[in-house]
Structure 1
Protein backbone atom coordinates (compact mmCIF):
# COMPACT_ATOMS: atom_id res chain seq x y z
CA UNK A 1 0.00 0.00 0.00
CA UNK A 2 1.46 3.43 -0.92
CA UNK A 3 2.52 5.51 2.04
CA UNK A 4 0.26 8.40 1.09
CA UNK A 5 -2.84 6.26 1.53
CA UNK A 6 -1.75 5.51 5.08
CA UNK A 7 -1.19 9.17 5.99
CA UNK A 8 -3.58 11.66 4.34
CA UNK A 9 -1.27 14.47 5.46
CA UNK A 10 1.76 13.06 3.66
CA UNK A 11 2.98 15.00 0.66
CA UNK A 12 6.35 14.25 -0.92
CA UNK A 13 6.58 17.85 -2.15
CA UNK A 14 6.41 19.40 1.32
CA UNK A 15 9.09 21.87 2.26
CA UNK A 16 10.77 19.94 5.07
CA UNK A 17 12.39 23.12 6.40
CA UNK A 18 8.98 24.21 7.66
CA UNK A 19 8.67 21.05 9.69
CA UNK A 20 12.00 20.87 11.50
CA UNK A 21 11.20 23.19 14.40
CA UNK A 22 7.77 22.43 15.82
CA UNK A 23 7.71 25.52 18.07
CA UNK A 24 8.44 27.83 15.13
CA UNK A 25 5.88 26.62 12.63
CA UNK A 26 5.16 29.07 9.87
CA UNK A 27 1.71 30.67 9.84
CA UNK A 28 0.05 31.99 6.71
CA UNK A 29 -2.34 34.72 5.63
CA UNK A 30 -5.72 34.05 4.06
CA UNK A 31 -4.38 34.73 0.55
CA UNK A 32 -1.54 32.23 0.98
CA UNK A 33 -3.59 29.18 1.92
CA UNK A 34 -5.27 26.77 -0.52
CA UNK A 35 -8.90 27.18 -1.49
CA UNK A 36 -10.20 24.37 0.71
CA UNK A 37 -9.03 26.25 3.82
CA UNK A 38 -10.57 29.56 2.74
CA UNK A 39 -13.84 29.19 4.61
CA UNK A 40 -13.92 32.58 6.34
CA UNK A 41 -12.57 35.59 4.45
CA UNK A 42 -12.76 37.74 7.62
CA UNK A 43 -10.08 35.67 9.38
CA UNK A 44 -7.00 37.13 7.72
CA UNK A 45 -3.96 35.56 9.39
CA UNK A 46 -2.51 32.82 11.60
CA UNK A 47 -3.43 29.89 9.36
CA UNK A 48 -1.56 26.59 9.49
CA UNK A 49 -0.92 24.84 6.21
CA UNK A 50 0.94 21.85 4.82
CA UNK A 51 1.76 20.21 8.16
CA UNK A 52 2.46 16.58 8.94
CA UNK A 53 0.33 14.75 11.48
CA UNK A 54 3.13 15.05 14.03
CA UNK A 55 3.37 18.82 13.61
CA UNK A 56 -0.41 19.15 13.76
CA UNK A 57 -0.22 17.48 17.17
CA UNK A 58 2.59 19.80 18.23
CA UNK A 59 0.53 22.80 17.11
CA UNK A 60 -1.91 21.95 19.89
CA UNK A 61 0.49 23.88 22.14
CA UNK A 62 1.03 26.82 19.78
CA UNK A 63 -1.08 29.89 19.09
CA UNK A 64 -2.91 30.01 15.77
CA UNK A 65 -6.48 30.56 14.58
CA UNK A 66 -7.53 26.98 15.41
CA UNK A 67 -6.03 26.76 18.91
CA UNK A 68 -9.15 27.89 20.73
CA UNK A 69 -11.42 25.70 18.57
CA UNK A 70 -9.30 22.66 19.39
CA UNK A 71 -9.07 23.25 23.12
CA UNK A 72 -12.72 24.14 23.73
CA UNK A 73 -14.09 20.89 22.35
CA UNK A 74 -11.18 18.80 23.60
CA UNK A 75 -11.81 20.10 27.13
CA UNK A 76 -15.54 19.39 26.78
CA UNK A 77 -14.78 15.84 25.64
CA UNK A 78 -12.56 15.25 28.66
CA UNK A 79 -15.28 16.45 31.07
CA UNK A 80 -17.93 14.26 29.41
CA UNK A 81 -15.61 11.25 29.51
CA UNK A 82 -15.48 11.79 33.26
CA UNK A 83 -19.30 12.09 33.35
CA UNK A 84 -19.64 8.91 31.29
CA UNK A 85 -17.49 6.95 33.74
CA UNK A 86 -19.22 8.52 36.74
CA UNK A 87 -22.70 7.91 35.32
CA UNK A 88 -21.83 4.30 34.52
CA UNK A 89 -21.26 3.76 38.23
CA UNK A 90 -23.90 6.14 39.60
CA UNK A 91 -26.86 4.98 37.50
CA UNK A 92 -26.01 1.29 37.19
CA UNK A 93 -29.07 0.46 39.30
CA UNK A 94 -31.45 2.64 37.27
CA UNK A 95 -33.98 1.23 34.82
CA UNK A 96 -32.21 -0.28 31.83
CA UNK A 97 -33.65 2.12 29.26
CA UNK A 98 -32.79 5.15 31.42
CA UNK A 99 -29.27 3.80 31.98
CA UNK A 100 -28.70 3.26 28.25
CA UNK A 101 -30.02 6.71 27.32
CA UNK A 102 -27.85 8.44 29.92
CA UNK A 103 -24.71 6.72 28.66
CA UNK A 104 -25.65 7.24 25.01
CA UNK A 105 -26.12 10.98 25.47
CA UNK A 106 -22.74 11.43 27.17
CA UNK A 107 -21.16 9.22 24.50
CA UNK A 108 -22.74 11.29 21.72
CA UNK A 109 -21.25 14.50 23.13
CA UNK A 110 -17.85 12.83 23.52
CA UNK A 111 -17.98 11.58 19.93
CA UNK A 112 -19.03 14.98 18.58
CA UNK A 113 -16.45 17.04 20.45
CA UNK A 114 -13.61 14.62 19.69
CA UNK A 115 -14.60 14.58 16.00
CA UNK A 116 -14.57 18.39 16.03
CA UNK A 117 -11.18 18.38 17.76
CA UNK A 118 -9.80 16.06 15.07
CA UNK A 119 -11.15 18.28 12.32
CA UNK A 120 -9.73 21.51 13.70
CA UNK A 121 -6.39 19.90 14.52
CA UNK A 122 -5.73 18.06 11.25
CA UNK A 123 -7.68 20.00 8.61
CA UNK A 124 -4.51 21.85 7.56
CA UNK A 125 -2.63 18.74 6.39
CA UNK A 126 -3.96 18.46 2.85
CA UNK A 127 -7.14 18.66 0.85
CA UNK A 128 -7.67 14.92 1.30
CA UNK A 129 -7.19 15.19 5.07
CA UNK A 130 -9.48 18.22 5.25
CA UNK A 131 -12.41 16.48 3.58
CA UNK A 132 -11.83 13.25 5.50
CA UNK A 133 -11.83 15.14 8.82
CA UNK A 134 -14.86 17.16 7.71
CA UNK A 135 -16.85 13.97 7.16
CA UNK A 136 -15.82 12.85 10.64
CA UNK A 137 -16.96 16.21 12.04
CA UNK A 138 -20.31 15.98 10.22
CA UNK A 139 -20.85 12.49 11.59
CA UNK A 140 -20.08 13.80 15.09
CA UNK A 141 -22.61 16.61 14.76
CA UNK A 142 -25.27 14.15 13.60
CA UNK A 143 -24.56 11.77 16.50
CA UNK A 144 -24.77 14.64 19.01
CA UNK A 145 -28.10 15.84 17.59
CA UNK A 146 -29.43 12.28 17.69
CA UNK A 147 -28.19 11.80 21.25
CA UNK A 148 -29.86 15.04 22.33
CA UNK A 149 -33.18 14.00 20.82
CA UNK A 150 -33.09 10.54 22.38
CA UNK A 151 -32.22 12.20 25.69
CA UNK A 152 -35.13 14.65 25.49
CA UNK A 153 -37.70 12.13 24.29
CA UNK A 154 -36.77 9.79 27.14
CA UNK A 155 -37.91 12.34 29.73
CA UNK A 156 -40.59 14.13 27.67
CA UNK A 157 -42.56 10.95 27.05
CA UNK A 158 -41.50 8.96 30.09
CA UNK A 159 -45.16 8.13 30.81
CA UNK A 160 -46.01 7.41 27.15
CA UNK A 161 -43.80 4.52 26.08
CA UNK A 162 -45.12 3.94 22.57
CA UNK A 163 -45.11 7.66 21.76
CA UNK A 164 -41.51 7.89 22.97
CA UNK A 165 -40.42 4.94 20.84
CA UNK A 166 -42.23 6.38 17.82
CA UNK A 167 -40.42 9.72 18.04
CA UNK A 168 -37.07 8.06 18.71
CA UNK A 169 -37.46 5.91 15.60
CA UNK A 170 -38.52 8.90 13.49
CA UNK A 171 -35.53 11.00 14.55
CA UNK A 172 -33.20 8.03 13.97
CA UNK A 173 -34.49 7.79 10.39
CA UNK A 174 -34.14 11.55 9.82
CA UNK A 175 -30.58 11.64 11.17
CA UNK A 176 -29.61 8.60 9.10
CA UNK A 177 -30.88 10.30 5.94
CA UNK A 178 -29.00 13.49 6.79
CA UNK A 179 -25.76 11.56 7.40
CA UNK A 180 -26.04 9.66 4.10
CA UNK A 181 -26.82 12.90 2.24
CA UNK A 182 -23.92 14.87 3.71
CA UNK A 183 -21.31 12.15 3.42
CA UNK A 184 -21.96 12.13 -0.33
CA UNK A 185 -21.60 15.90 -0.69
CA UNK A 186 -18.25 17.54 -1.53
CA UNK A 187 -19.13 20.61 0.54
CA UNK A 188 -20.78 21.10 3.92
CA UNK A 189 -23.90 23.24 4.10
CA UNK A 190 -24.91 23.93 7.68
CA UNK A 191 -28.51 24.95 6.92
CA UNK A 192 -29.90 21.40 6.93
CA UNK A 193 -28.18 20.59 10.21
CA UNK A 194 -29.47 23.85 11.65
CA UNK A 195 -33.03 23.01 10.58
CA UNK A 196 -33.00 19.47 12.05
CA UNK A 197 -33.23 20.67 15.69
CA UNK A 198 -36.33 22.66 14.75
CA UNK A 199 -38.07 19.31 14.23
CA UNK A 200 -38.17 19.09 18.02
CA UNK A 201 -40.87 21.77 18.23
CA UNK A 202 -43.70 19.39 17.22
CA UNK A 203 -42.88 16.74 19.87
CA UNK A 204 -42.80 19.51 22.51
CA UNK A 205 -46.31 20.63 21.51
CA UNK A 206 -47.44 16.99 21.57
CA UNK A 207 -45.89 16.57 25.03
CA UNK A 208 -47.78 19.59 26.36
CA UNK A 209 -51.03 18.12 25.03
CA UNK A 210 -50.42 14.65 26.49
CA UNK A 211 -49.66 15.96 29.97
CA UNK A 212 -52.76 18.15 30.03
CA UNK A 213 -51.60 21.66 29.21
CA UNK A 214 -49.33 24.44 30.43
CA UNK A 215 -50.65 24.44 33.99
CA UNK A 216 -48.97 21.10 34.76
CA UNK A 217 -45.84 21.36 36.92
CA UNK A 218 -43.81 19.02 34.71
CA UNK A 219 -44.69 20.94 31.55
CA UNK A 220 -43.75 24.30 33.05
CA UNK A 221 -40.42 22.95 34.25
CA UNK A 222 -39.66 21.12 31.03
CA UNK A 223 -40.65 23.97 28.70
CA UNK A 224 -38.51 26.48 30.59
CA UNK A 225 -35.54 24.14 30.17
CA UNK A 226 -36.23 23.74 26.46
CA UNK A 227 -36.64 27.51 26.01
CA UNK A 228 -33.21 28.09 27.55
CA UNK A 229 -31.70 25.31 25.43
CA UNK A 230 -33.07 26.60 22.13
CA UNK A 231 -32.11 30.17 23.05
CA UNK A 232 -28.51 29.14 23.70
CA UNK A 233 -28.32 27.13 20.48
CA UNK A 234 -30.00 29.94 18.53
CA UNK A 235 -27.55 32.57 19.74
CA UNK A 236 -24.62 30.33 18.86
CA UNK A 237 -26.01 29.67 15.37
CA UNK A 238 -26.56 33.42 14.87
CA UNK A 239 -22.89 34.13 15.54
CA UNK A 240 -21.84 31.20 13.36
CA UNK A 241 -24.00 32.07 10.35
CA UNK A 242 -23.35 35.82 10.37
CA UNK A 243 -19.60 35.46 11.07
CA UNK A 244 -19.88 38.00 13.86
CA UNK A 245 -17.78 39.80 15.13
CA UNK A 246 -14.97 39.31 12.58
CA UNK A 247 -17.28 40.45 9.76
CA UNK A 248 -17.19 43.97 11.18
CA UNK A 249 -13.51 43.95 12.20
CA UNK A 250 -11.61 41.73 9.72
CA UNK A 251 -8.30 40.55 11.12
CA UNK A 252 -8.97 41.56 14.73
CA UNK A 253 -10.40 38.21 15.80
CA UNK A 254 -8.00 35.89 14.02
CA UNK A 255 -6.82 34.21 17.25
CA UNK A 256 -9.58 34.74 19.81
CA UNK A 257 -13.34 35.42 19.87
CA UNK A 258 -14.17 34.64 16.25
CA UNK A 259 -17.66 33.45 15.35
CA UNK A 260 -16.71 29.77 15.16
CA UNK A 261 -15.09 29.94 18.58
CA UNK A 262 -18.18 31.63 20.01
CA UNK A 263 -20.29 28.88 18.45
CA UNK A 264 -18.13 26.31 20.23
CA UNK A 265 -18.75 28.02 23.56
CA UNK A 266 -22.51 28.12 23.07
CA UNK A 267 -22.61 24.52 21.86
CA UNK A 268 -20.74 23.42 24.99
CA UNK A 269 -23.18 25.37 27.17
CA UNK A 270 -26.08 23.64 25.39
CA UNK A 271 -24.54 20.19 25.97
CA UNK A 272 -24.18 20.80 29.70
CA UNK A 273 -27.58 22.45 30.02
CA UNK A 274 -29.27 19.51 28.32
CA UNK A 275 -27.37 17.08 30.53
CA UNK A 276 -28.23 18.87 33.78
CA UNK A 277 -31.89 19.44 32.88
CA UNK A 278 -32.24 15.81 31.76
CA UNK A 279 -30.89 14.49 35.06
CA UNK A 280 -33.29 16.79 36.92
CA UNK A 281 -36.23 15.57 34.83
CA UNK A 282 -35.26 11.98 35.53
CA UNK A 283 -35.24 12.76 39.26
CA UNK A 284 -38.65 14.41 38.87
CA UNK A 285 -40.06 11.22 37.34
CA UNK A 286 -38.53 9.17 40.15
CA UNK A 287 -40.35 11.33 42.72
CA UNK A 288 -43.51 11.45 40.63
CA UNK A 289 -43.92 7.99 39.05
CA UNK A 290 -46.18 7.61 36.06
CA UNK A 291 -49.76 6.44 36.40
CA UNK A 292 -50.55 3.66 33.94
CA UNK A 293 -51.81 5.30 30.79
Structure 2
Protein backbone atom coordinates (compact mmCIF):
# COMPACT_ATOMS: atom_id res chain seq x y z
CA UNK A 1 0.00 0.00 0.00
CA UNK A 2 1.40 3.48 -0.86
CA UNK A 3 2.87 5.40 2.09
CA UNK A 4 0.42 8.28 1.56
CA UNK A 5 -2.53 5.93 1.80
CA UNK A 6 -1.14 4.25 4.87
CA UNK A 7 -1.26 7.55 6.74
CA UNK A 8 -5.03 7.75 6.29
CA UNK A 9 -5.71 4.08 7.01
CA UNK A 10 -6.78 2.66 10.34
CA UNK A 11 -6.15 -1.04 10.86
CA UNK A 12 -8.84 -3.01 12.64
CA UNK A 13 -9.20 -6.69 13.38
CA UNK A 14 -12.08 -8.55 11.78
CA UNK A 15 -12.47 -11.35 14.30
CA UNK A 16 -9.75 -13.91 13.64
CA UNK A 17 -9.26 -12.74 10.05
CA UNK A 18 -6.23 -10.81 8.88
CA UNK A 19 -5.93 -7.13 9.58
CA UNK A 20 -7.63 -5.11 6.87
CA UNK A 21 -6.87 -1.47 6.03
CA UNK A 22 -9.99 0.64 6.50
CA UNK A 23 -10.03 4.23 5.29
CA UNK A 24 -11.33 6.50 8.03
CA UNK A 25 -11.85 10.25 7.45
CA UNK A 26 -10.09 12.51 9.92
CA UNK A 27 -12.09 13.04 13.09
CA UNK A 28 -13.90 9.71 12.82
CA UNK A 29 -12.75 6.49 14.44
CA UNK A 30 -14.23 3.09 15.09
CA UNK A 31 -14.87 1.77 18.59
CA UNK A 32 -15.19 -1.60 20.25
CA UNK A 33 -18.34 -2.77 22.02
CA UNK A 34 -16.84 -1.89 25.41
CA UNK A 35 -16.10 1.68 24.29
CA UNK A 36 -19.49 2.71 22.92
CA UNK A 37 -22.27 4.37 24.99
CA UNK A 38 -24.83 2.12 26.64
CA UNK A 39 -27.68 3.09 24.30
CA UNK A 40 -25.75 1.60 21.37
CA UNK A 41 -25.07 -1.69 23.15
CA UNK A 42 -27.71 -3.87 21.53
CA UNK A 43 -25.66 -6.82 20.35
CA UNK A 44 -22.69 -8.00 22.43
CA UNK A 45 -21.72 -10.49 19.72
CA UNK A 46 -20.72 -7.61 17.41
CA UNK A 47 -17.50 -6.67 19.13
CA UNK A 48 -15.92 -4.04 16.90
CA UNK A 49 -16.46 -1.52 14.10
CA UNK A 50 -18.83 0.92 15.84
CA UNK A 51 -19.17 4.59 14.91
CA UNK A 52 -20.06 6.69 17.96
CA UNK A 53 -19.81 10.03 19.81
CA UNK A 54 -20.30 12.19 16.72
CA UNK A 55 -21.91 15.63 17.14
CA UNK A 56 -24.69 16.88 14.87
CA UNK A 57 -22.41 18.92 12.61
CA UNK A 58 -20.09 15.98 12.02
CA UNK A 59 -23.04 13.66 11.34
CA UNK A 60 -24.48 16.06 8.78
CA UNK A 61 -21.24 17.15 7.15
CA UNK A 62 -19.77 13.70 6.77
CA UNK A 63 -22.79 11.53 6.06
CA UNK A 64 -21.60 11.08 2.46
CA UNK A 65 -18.21 9.90 3.69
CA UNK A 66 -19.93 7.58 6.16
CA UNK A 67 -21.38 5.72 3.20
CA UNK A 68 -17.89 4.59 2.28
CA UNK A 69 -16.50 3.79 5.74
CA UNK A 70 -16.11 0.10 6.42
CA UNK A 71 -17.92 -0.23 9.74
CA UNK A 72 -20.42 -2.70 11.15
CA UNK A 73 -23.16 -0.48 9.64
CA UNK A 74 -21.84 -0.48 6.07
CA UNK A 75 -23.89 -3.44 4.83
CA UNK A 76 -26.97 -2.18 6.69
CA UNK A 77 -26.70 1.21 4.99
CA UNK A 78 -25.93 0.01 1.48
CA UNK A 79 -28.41 -2.87 1.43
CA UNK A 80 -31.35 -0.51 1.93
CA UNK A 81 -29.88 2.37 -0.06
CA UNK A 82 -29.62 0.04 -3.05
CA UNK A 83 -33.06 -1.28 -2.11
CA UNK A 84 -34.43 2.25 -2.41
CA UNK A 85 -32.98 2.63 -5.92
CA UNK A 86 -34.34 -0.82 -6.82
CA UNK A 87 -37.91 0.09 -5.89
CA UNK A 88 -37.58 3.55 -7.43
CA UNK A 89 -36.48 1.93 -10.70
CA UNK A 90 -39.28 -0.63 -10.49
CA UNK A 91 -41.75 2.23 -10.04
CA UNK A 92 -40.61 3.87 -13.26
CA UNK A 93 -40.66 0.54 -15.10
CA UNK A 94 -44.12 -0.34 -13.79
CA UNK A 95 -45.63 3.02 -14.73
CA UNK A 96 -44.10 3.08 -18.20
CA UNK A 97 -44.19 -0.61 -19.21
CA UNK A 98 -45.90 -3.12 -16.93
CA UNK A 99 -49.16 -1.29 -16.25
CA UNK A 100 -49.70 0.02 -19.80
CA UNK A 101 -49.18 -3.50 -21.18
CA UNK A 102 -51.77 -4.82 -18.71
CA UNK A 103 -54.29 -2.15 -19.77
CA UNK A 104 -54.32 -1.02 -16.16
CA UNK A 105 -56.94 1.30 -14.75
CA UNK A 106 -56.35 4.47 -12.75
CA UNK A 107 -56.88 2.45 -9.57
CA UNK A 108 -54.02 0.14 -10.53
CA UNK A 109 -51.69 3.10 -10.93
CA UNK A 110 -52.71 4.45 -7.53
CA UNK A 111 -52.22 1.09 -5.80
CA UNK A 112 -48.81 0.52 -7.36
CA UNK A 113 -47.75 4.05 -6.46
CA UNK A 114 -48.76 3.56 -2.83
CA UNK A 115 -47.02 0.19 -2.60
CA UNK A 116 -43.70 1.29 -4.08
CA UNK A 117 -43.76 4.61 -2.24
CA UNK A 118 -44.14 2.72 1.05
CA UNK A 119 -41.24 0.45 0.17
CA UNK A 120 -39.04 3.44 -0.68
CA UNK A 121 -39.94 5.25 2.55
CA UNK A 122 -39.07 2.12 4.52
CA UNK A 123 -35.68 1.89 2.81
CA UNK A 124 -34.83 5.57 3.36
CA UNK A 125 -35.88 5.55 7.02
CA UNK A 126 -33.62 2.58 7.60
CA UNK A 127 -30.70 4.24 5.81
CA UNK A 128 -31.21 7.38 7.89
CA UNK A 129 -31.11 5.49 11.16
CA UNK A 130 -28.02 3.46 10.33
CA UNK A 131 -26.21 6.58 9.08
CA UNK A 132 -27.02 8.77 12.07
CA UNK A 133 -27.28 6.30 14.95
CA UNK A 134 -23.66 7.25 15.71
CA UNK A 135 -24.84 10.59 17.18
CA UNK A 136 -23.52 11.21 20.67
CA UNK A 137 -26.99 12.14 21.92
CA UNK A 138 -29.19 9.28 23.09
CA UNK A 139 -32.27 11.39 22.33
CA UNK A 140 -31.18 11.88 18.72
CA UNK A 141 -30.43 8.17 18.43
CA UNK A 142 -33.90 7.26 19.73
CA UNK A 143 -35.55 9.69 17.30
CA UNK A 144 -33.82 8.06 14.36
CA UNK A 145 -34.71 4.63 15.73
CA UNK A 146 -38.37 5.66 16.01
CA UNK A 147 -38.23 6.82 12.39
CA UNK A 148 -36.75 3.45 11.41
CA UNK A 149 -39.61 1.61 13.15
CA UNK A 150 -42.13 3.91 11.48
CA UNK A 151 -40.56 3.04 8.15
CA UNK A 152 -40.98 -0.67 8.87
CA UNK A 153 -44.68 -0.12 9.62
CA UNK A 154 -45.08 1.85 6.39
CA UNK A 155 -43.30 -0.89 4.43
CA UNK A 156 -45.66 -3.52 5.87
CA UNK A 157 -48.61 -1.36 4.93
CA UNK A 158 -47.22 -1.20 1.41
CA UNK A 159 -47.39 -5.01 1.28
CA UNK A 160 -51.01 -5.22 2.40
CA UNK A 161 -52.54 -2.42 0.31
CA UNK A 162 -52.17 -4.20 -3.07
CA UNK A 163 -52.93 -7.58 -1.47
CA UNK A 164 -56.32 -6.44 -0.17
CA UNK A 165 -57.14 -4.45 -3.30
CA UNK A 166 -56.57 -7.33 -5.71
CA UNK A 167 -57.89 -10.02 -3.40
CA UNK A 168 -61.29 -8.29 -3.24
CA UNK A 169 -61.03 -6.90 -6.77
CA UNK A 170 -64.29 -8.49 -7.93
CA UNK A 171 -66.34 -7.63 -4.85
CA UNK A 172 -68.58 -4.60 -4.58
CA UNK A 173 -68.37 -4.47 -0.78
CA UNK A 174 -66.74 -1.06 -0.61
CA UNK A 175 -67.46 -0.56 3.08
CA UNK A 176 -65.88 -3.92 3.89
CA UNK A 177 -62.86 -3.12 1.74
CA UNK A 178 -62.45 0.24 3.49
CA UNK A 179 -62.67 -1.43 6.89
CA UNK A 180 -60.05 -4.02 5.93
CA UNK A 181 -57.70 -1.30 4.66
CA UNK A 182 -57.81 0.28 8.13
CA UNK A 183 -57.14 -2.95 10.02
CA UNK A 184 -54.98 -4.90 7.61
CA UNK A 185 -51.60 -3.50 8.68
CA UNK A 186 -52.04 -5.23 12.04
CA UNK A 187 -54.18 -8.22 11.16
CA UNK A 188 -52.84 -9.12 7.75
CA UNK A 189 -53.57 -12.81 8.12
CA UNK A 190 -57.32 -12.36 8.66
CA UNK A 191 -58.08 -10.99 5.15
CA UNK A 192 -56.10 -13.86 3.65
CA UNK A 193 -58.25 -16.48 5.41
CA UNK A 194 -61.43 -14.59 4.53
CA UNK A 195 -60.38 -14.31 0.89
CA UNK A 196 -59.60 -18.05 0.65
CA UNK A 197 -63.02 -18.90 2.10
CA UNK A 198 -64.80 -16.42 -0.17
CA UNK A 199 -63.14 -17.81 -3.30
CA UNK A 200 -64.18 -21.39 -2.64
CA UNK A 201 -61.25 -22.74 -0.67
CA UNK A 202 -57.82 -24.02 -1.66
CA UNK A 203 -59.03 -25.82 -4.79
CA UNK A 204 -59.76 -22.72 -6.91
CA UNK A 205 -57.10 -21.64 -9.45
CA UNK A 206 -56.67 -18.08 -8.13
CA UNK A 207 -56.16 -19.31 -4.57
CA UNK A 208 -53.69 -21.99 -5.66
CA UNK A 209 -51.77 -19.37 -7.65
CA UNK A 210 -51.77 -16.62 -5.06
CA UNK A 211 -51.63 -18.24 -1.62
CA UNK A 212 -48.21 -19.92 -2.06
CA UNK A 213 -46.78 -16.50 -2.88
CA UNK A 214 -48.30 -15.11 0.30
CA UNK A 215 -46.76 -17.86 2.40
CA UNK A 216 -43.35 -17.41 0.78
CA UNK A 217 -43.46 -13.75 1.82
CA UNK A 218 -44.49 -14.67 5.36
CA UNK A 219 -41.73 -17.29 5.46
CA UNK A 220 -39.06 -14.78 4.46
CA UNK A 221 -40.41 -12.34 7.04
CA UNK A 222 -40.42 -15.03 9.72
CA UNK A 223 -36.82 -16.06 8.95
CA UNK A 224 -35.71 -12.42 8.99
CA UNK A 225 -37.43 -11.79 12.32
CA UNK A 226 -36.06 -15.00 13.82
CA UNK A 227 -32.49 -14.04 12.91
CA UNK A 228 -33.07 -10.52 14.20
CA UNK A 229 -34.29 -11.51 17.66
CA UNK A 230 -31.97 -14.49 18.20
CA UNK A 231 -28.84 -12.71 16.91
CA UNK A 232 -27.90 -15.74 14.85
CA UNK A 233 -25.30 -16.41 13.42
CA UNK A 234 -23.02 -13.99 15.35
CA UNK A 235 -24.23 -15.55 18.61
CA UNK A 236 -22.18 -18.63 17.69
CA UNK A 237 -19.27 -16.67 16.18
CA UNK A 238 -18.70 -13.68 18.50
CA UNK A 239 -16.40 -11.13 16.89
CA UNK A 240 -16.23 -13.04 13.60
CA UNK A 241 -19.14 -11.31 11.83
CA UNK A 242 -18.63 -7.70 12.89
CA UNK A 243 -18.53 -6.38 9.33
CA UNK A 244 -20.23 -8.98 7.19
CA UNK A 245 -22.81 -11.68 7.81
CA UNK A 246 -24.46 -10.51 11.05
CA UNK A 247 -28.13 -11.12 11.80
CA UNK A 248 -29.10 -7.49 11.27
CA UNK A 249 -27.46 -7.48 7.87
CA UNK A 250 -29.30 -10.69 6.98
CA UNK A 251 -32.51 -9.01 8.16
CA UNK A 252 -31.87 -6.09 5.81
CA UNK A 253 -31.21 -8.27 2.79
CA UNK A 254 -34.26 -10.45 3.49
CA UNK A 255 -36.50 -7.38 3.84
CA UNK A 256 -35.40 -6.15 0.42
CA UNK A 257 -35.97 -9.62 -1.07
CA UNK A 258 -39.37 -9.86 0.63
CA UNK A 259 -40.51 -6.51 -0.75
CA UNK A 260 -39.19 -7.40 -4.20
CA UNK A 261 -40.97 -10.78 -4.09
CA UNK A 262 -44.18 -9.05 -3.10
CA UNK A 263 -43.82 -6.54 -5.91
CA UNK A 264 -43.43 -9.36 -8.42
CA UNK A 265 -46.47 -11.04 -6.86
CA UNK A 266 -48.38 -7.79 -7.35
CA UNK A 267 -47.42 -7.75 -11.04
CA UNK A 268 -48.59 -11.35 -11.37
CA UNK A 269 -51.94 -10.78 -9.68
CA UNK A 270 -52.53 -7.56 -11.64
CA UNK A 271 -52.06 -9.37 -14.93
CA UNK A 272 -54.27 -12.22 -13.70
CA UNK A 273 -57.08 -9.85 -12.74
CA UNK A 274 -57.00 -8.06 -16.07
CA UNK A 275 -56.83 -11.30 -18.06
CA UNK A 276 -59.64 -12.94 -16.06
CA UNK A 277 -62.65 -10.57 -15.93
CA UNK A 278 -64.69 -10.58 -12.74
CA UNK A 279 -67.83 -11.69 -14.57
CA UNK A 280 -65.99 -14.73 -15.89
CA UNK A 281 -64.71 -15.64 -12.43
CA UNK A 282 -68.15 -15.26 -10.86
CA UNK A 283 -69.66 -17.67 -13.38
CA UNK A 284 -67.12 -20.44 -12.79
Q: TM-score, normalised by structure 2?
A: 0.83
Q: Paired residue for 1:40?
A: 43
Structure (1 or 2) with the greater helix fraction = 1
Aligned with residue 119 of structure 2, among 95, 109, 112: 109
Counterpart CA distance in 1 for 2:52 and 2:124 is 21
2:19 matched to 1:31? no
Aligned with residue 230 of structure 2, among 242, 246, 249: 242
Counterpart CA distance in 1 for 2:64 and 2:42 is 22
Counterpart CA distance in 2 for 1:285 and 1:268 is 26
Q: Which SS does the other structure have where 1:254 is aligned?
A: coil
- CA shift at 1:56, angstroms? 3.5
Q: Paired residue for 1:10?
A: none
Question: Could you say what the CA RMSD is over the residues aligned between the two structures, in angstroms?
Answer: 1.7
Give the gaps of 5 or more residues in structure 2.
1-23
User: Quick check: 215-224 or 121-130, which moved more?
Assistant: 121-130
- CA shift at 1:24, angstroms? 7.5
Q: Paired residue for 1:164?
A: 177
- CA shift at 1:25, angstroms? 3.0
2:130 matched to 1:120? yes
- CA shift at 1:289, angstroms? 0.9
Q: Are 1:23 and 1:62, in contact at CA under 8 Å, matched by a contact in 2? A: no
Counterpart CA distance in 1 for 2:241 and 2:63 is 22
- CA shift at 1:158, angstroms? 1.0
Q: Paired residue for 2:274?
A: 286
Q: Paired residue for 2:5?
A: none
Q: Which SS does the other structure have where 2:122 is aligned?
A: helix
User: Quick check: 122-131 or 39-48, which moved more?
Assistant: 122-131
Q: TM-score, normalised by structure 1?
A: 0.80
Structure (1 or 2) with the greater strand fraction = 2
Higher RCO structure (Cα 8 Å, ≥6 apart): 2
After superposition, give the CA deviation of every residue in 1:203-223 in whole Å (9 maximum; x if it has no partner): 111111111111110000111
- Greater C-alpha Rg: 2
Counterpart CA distance in 2 for 1:130 and 1:84 is 31
Matches within 5 A, 1:259-270: 259-270=247-258
Counterpart CA distance in 2 for 1:38 and 1:146 is 30
**In 2 relative to 1, CA 284–31 (structure 1 residues): closer, same or farther, beyond 3 Å?**
same
Counterpart CA distance in 2 for 1:233 and 1:267 is 7
Counterpart CA distance in 2 for 1:101 and 1:158 is 12
Aligned with residue 207 of structure 2, among 194, 199, 219: 219
Q: Paired residue for 1:134?
A: 145
Q: Are 1:43 and 1:250, in contact at CA under 8 Å, matched by a contact in 2? A: yes
**In 2 relative to 1, CA 161–114 (structure 1 residues): closer, same or farther, beyond 3 Å?**
farther
Counterpart CA distance in 2 for 1:23 and 1:244 is 34
- CA shift at 1:202, angstroms? 1.6
- CA shift at 1:265, angstroms? 1.1
The number of residue pairs the alignment matches comes to 248
Counterpart CA distance in 1 for 2:151 and 2:67 is 20
Counterpart CA distance in 2 for 1:241 and 1:132 is 21
